[in-house]
Structure 1
Amino acid sequence: MDSDKWTIDKLDSQNYQTWKFQMKHILLVKVLYDIVDGAAKAPEGSADQALKFDFKSRYRKAFSVIALSVSTELLYLITDTEAPDVAWKRLQNHFERENDNGCVCNEFTFITHHSNTFSLHSSSPRLIDSGASCHMTPNRESFNSYKKLEQIEMVSLNGGRTVEAVGVGVVKVMLKLNCRVQCAAAFYNVLHVPQLASNLFSVQAATQKGYIVQFGHTRCWINNASGRVRAMGSLANKLFSLDCVQTETQYANTASAEIWHQRLVHVNNSTLKN
C-alpha cells in the first residue's frame, strides 16, 4: 500500500492521544520520525551537499505531514514555526504534561496573592466575559477563602443597573481540558456579588496576568505565554462558559436577558489592591 495515501482523523481538541499514536507511525513509515524526535541532526560544515539537501527535504516534509493533519481550529499553535520538532513538542505541551506519578495533569492559576491550600467547591457555569474587569460570583459558598469588604463596592452592569459587591476571595474549581485531562484552577480576587445571575470569568483579569484568550466559532482557549492551554470554554445558548468538572449538582443555565445585561461589568479598582 502506498503510505502517501494513508490518512488519519485530523487533530482536534478531543483526540490527541489517538492522533499522536497514529501520526508517530505515519512518520515512521515515511522515515521522518527521526526528524521530529530530534534524533536526526542537520549536516554541518563540509558535509556532502546531497546529504544537506536530503535532510532539508525531509525536514520540510515532516512539518507538512504534521501541519496538514491538524484541524483548522488548532493551527494557531504552529503557524509561527516551520520546524517539525518544534511543532510536535508544542502540540504535546498543549495537551499533556507528566507529573512525578506519570499522570497527565495541568496547572492553571491566576495568582495575585501568596498561595494557600484549598478544597474544591461546586459552582454554577462560569461565563467568559470580555467586559468584566474581574472575576465575580453570586455564591458565597463557592469561596475557599473569603474576606468581607470593609466598604461595599458598586458594580455597574450593562444597561445602567448597579449592584453591590460585598466580599472578595479565592475560588477553586476543576477545569476540563478534554475528555481525559482535568486541572485545578485557583481564581484570586473574585468579587462576591450576590445579585449576579451567574459566575463571570474575566477575560481582562486573565490577560492582565499574561494569559492569551482566543475565541473560535464554538470553542475558546486560554493559553499561557508559552502557548500551553490552561483552560477551555464552549459556546452554549450564545454564551461562552468555562469547561468545568462539577463536584455537585450544577445550576441550570439559560441565556436570559438578565445574563446578557451582565455581559459588560465594571468595578472600582480599589477592590483589587493588595
Structure 2
Amino acid sequence: MADQPRFSLPKLNNQNYQSWKFKIEMLLIRDELWHVISQPKPEPVTAAWTKADLKARATIGLCIEDNQTSLIRNCTNAQDAWKALKDYHDKVSDVYLLKKLTRLELGENGDMEQHLQQFTDLLQRIADAGEAIPVKWQVAMLLCSLPDTYDPLTTALEQRPRDELTLDLVKSKLLAEAEKRRERNGTASVSGEKALRTEFRKRVSVLLADGVKAEAIGSGQGSIVGVNGAGDTVEIVLRDVLFVPKLTSGLISVSTLASKDFHVVFTDNRCEIRNQRGEVSAVATRRGNLYGLCTPEQAMISVQSQHTVNCQHTWHRRLGHRDPDVIRVISANGHAEGMKLIDCGLKTICRCCLEGKMARAPFKKQVARGSKERLDIVHTDLSGPMISTPSGNKYFLILIDDFTRMAFLYLLKAKSEAASKIKRFCTVL
C-alpha cells in the first residue's frame, strides 16, 4: 500500500472547533473511517468495525489539545468521543452567536482574511444550531462590519442587482480590496504606526516566537522618532527591515542589534540601546512582557509627571501657558493671593507653546492674474439638482471672467441647457 500524504492539522482548542471538525471529518473520510461515526454501531460487532473504530478514536484523541482530553477520556468508542466534543463546543446558544456576529467589526488595519474567517465560522455555527440566516442579511451584516474607509466599495456593491450580490462575490471583492491596500501601505508601513520605506524583493519566511511562520513581502530601510538617554528627540534609522503584513506591531531583533555592535541593557522596567561609544541611542519602557520604544509624546508625559504642584511649569499650564517671566513677576510682587512658585529644577521647553506660536507665511494681498483679455480665462461651476424653484429650475450655472471679474448666474431646468448659456455668456461679454 502506497504511503499516504501527511498533513499538519491544528489541534482542537476552545477557539477552532468548526474548522477542526471539518478537517478531521475529511481526514476520516480519506482513511475510510468516517462510517464508524456517521453510521450506527452494527449488530453483531465485526472485527473490521472494531479495528476502524479504534483507529478513528485514536485519530480524534491525537488531534486535540491537552485541555480537551478530559472531554473524551471516558468514551469507549469514536462515535461517543465525537458526540462529547460536539456537545461541549456547540453548547453556546444561537442568540449569543447572533449577538457576537452583529458585533463583529474589522479594524482599520485589521486582517481581512482573518475577519472573513471569523464571520464564516459564526455563520456556520448559527446554521448548525438550526437558525440559517438569509443571504441578503449575511451580505448586509458583512458590509456593516467594515470600517468607514470601505464605504466607496460598499456603495458600489449595493448598486449591483440582488441576484448577483452573493456572499462569495462580496468576499472576493473585499479580499481584492484588502490586497490592494496592503500593497499600497506595504511601501510605507511596518507596523501601521511608523512609516518605513520598503522595497519589494524576494519573499522570505519569518519564524515567530510561537513557532508560526509568517511571510515577509518586502524589505528596505526607514526611520522612526525616538528618545535618547537625555530625553531628547532623535531620529532612529533602521535598515534591512522586513515588511510582514500579518504582524500587528513592529519588532526589533535584539540579536541583530548585537551583531551591529550595539549593546542592549535590560532592567525591570527599562531597556537602553547603546552605541559603540556607550551613548544611549534609544530608550524603551516595559509594557507587559515586551519593551516599547519611547516616543517624544511619552517622554513629555514622563517629564511632566516629575513636576511639583507649585513649580513654574505647573503654574505655566494653570495660567493658560502664560509667559514664564510674567509668572515670576506675579509671584515676586504678590499679585496673586495664595500663589507659591517653587523651582522644580527641570529645564524643559513647552512644546504646546512652540507649536501654538508657529505661523505660516501671509497670503499675498494681490495675486497676479494669468488672463490678458476678456474670455482668456473663465471660472465656471455647474451645480444641482436641488429643490426646484417656482419656475421649475433645478440647476444653476455660474461663469466668472478672470480678466473683468464679471460674474453671471444662470438658472437651468436641465444640465443640457448649459451649452446655450455658455454661448450666450460669450456673446454678452
- Return the TM-score normalized by structure 2: 0.24
Which entry has the higher C-alpha Rg, 1 or 2?
2
1 or 2, which has the higher strand percentage? 1
1 or 2, which has the higher helix percentage? 2
